């Protein structure tokens, strides 16, 4: 079964990778789909995020990395997936994710949303926090793959 794990992944964290690995244990095949989100101002371009994700998932069988624009459920249908995977770190994520899942269900009742929690050690991680630490000159190497840490450091 094919599932879609969408997000901005700006930047990808060890929490994202943990959710990818958990989803693969359930679904076997997973498309990590980078959204072209017009509402966010990304630190990395879509192309950079795709490159990073391909590098960090290269040795994880069953993962494909792709980008998409438009409605997620339309993308899922084009790909032949009937499951959307979303990560939940804390209760604060739930309200937004719940609204999105119910909206997607109303638009496309044949596509299910499955919520996965990362390991406790990653439950506090967010891309926003990583960007803040990096912008203030902090070391993010404990939270993100090496390629991400290097690219963030290069941005100064």
Give the residue numbers marked as catalytic: 16, 40, 89, 127
Sort residue 149 into left (φ over 0), alpha (ψ -120 to 50) or beta: alpha
Question: CA 60, 61, 65 angle in degrees (round to 5)?
Answer: 75
Give me the DSSP letters along 119-155: PGGGTT--HHHHHHHHHTT---TTTS-HHHHHHHHHH
Judge whether 138 and 1 are in contact, CB under 8 Å: no
Judge whether 36 and 69 are in contact, CB under 8 Å: yes
């Amino acid at each position: 079964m094919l599932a879609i794990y969408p997000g901005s992944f700006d930047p990808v964290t060890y929490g994202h990778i943990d959710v990818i690995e958990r989803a693969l244990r359930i679904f076997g095949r997973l498309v990590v789909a980078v959204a072209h989100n017009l509402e966010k101002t990304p630190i990395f371009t879509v192309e950079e995020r795709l490159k990073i994700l391909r590098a960090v998932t290269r040795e994880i069988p069953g993962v494909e990395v792709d980008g998409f624009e438009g409605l997620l459920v339309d993308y899922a249908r084009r790909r032949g997936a009937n499951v959307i995977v979303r990560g939940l770190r804390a209760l604060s994520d739930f309200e937004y994710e719940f609204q999105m899942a119910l909206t997607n269900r109303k638009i496309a009742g044949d596509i299910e949303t499955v919520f996965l929690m990362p390991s406790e050690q990653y439950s506090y991680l967010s891309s926003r926090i990583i960007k803040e630490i990096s912008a203030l000159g902090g070391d993010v190497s404990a939270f993100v793959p090496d390629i991400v840490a290097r690219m963030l450091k290069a941005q100064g």
